[in-house]
């Protein structure tokens, strides 16, 4: 299962989408979980203060995201659940690029 939602980068939004993916997995794969669940990307990462100031509230840290995503998955499947995939593009690139106009 793969989810890609833009906009809200809060840790709570990732917890919500993870729970929804779990609900969907339970409906679509009643006998066994899917092989993998991809929660998409858009995670905020380390960034310069100028970029950080553009967010309406301070972006979560990677530990916040990990708790929000892994918590529901462990609650549902323990350590034997689907492979978790995360696309950390923004988290990796937010402090390595400069935009010039």
Dihedral sign of CA atoms 84, 38, 88, 54 in order: negative
Judge whether residue 100 has pLDDT over 80: no
Structure tokens at 61: 């840290």
Cβ atoms 73, 37 nearer than 8 A: yes
Question: Tens of pLDDT along 45-57?
Answer: 777 788 888 888 8
Judge whether residue 85 has pLDDT over 80: yes
Rounded Cα distance between 94 and 22, Å, is: 29
The predicted pLDDT at position 66 comes to 93
Between the alpha carbon of residue 17 and those of residues 39, 41, 51, 98, the distances in Å are 7, 12, 25, 31
Question: Tens of pLDDT along 36-82?
Answer: 999 988 887 777 788 888 888 888 888 999 999 999 999 999 988 99
Scanning the structure block, which residue is given the tokens 């991809």?
Answer: 38
Number of Cβ within 10 Å of residue 20's Cβ equals 14
Between the alpha carbon of residue 41 and those of residues 9, 44, 79, 92, 101, the distances in Å are 9, 9, 22, 11, 26
The predicted pLDDT at position 93 comes to 64
The predicted pLDDT at position 19 comes to 97
């Amino acid at each position: 299962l793969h989810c890609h939602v833009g906009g809200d980068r809060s840790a709570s939004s990732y917890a919500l989408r993870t729970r929804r993916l779990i609900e969907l997995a339970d409906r679509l794969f009643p006998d066994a979980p899917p092989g993998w669940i991809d929660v998409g990307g858009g995670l905020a990462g380390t960034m310069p203060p100028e970029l950080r100031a553009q967010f309406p509230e301070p972006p979560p840290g990677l530990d916040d995201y990990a708790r929000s995503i892994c918590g529901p998955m462990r609650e549902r499947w323990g350590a034997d659940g689907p492979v978790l995939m995360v696309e950390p593009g923004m988290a990796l690139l937010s402090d390595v690029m400069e935009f010039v106009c």
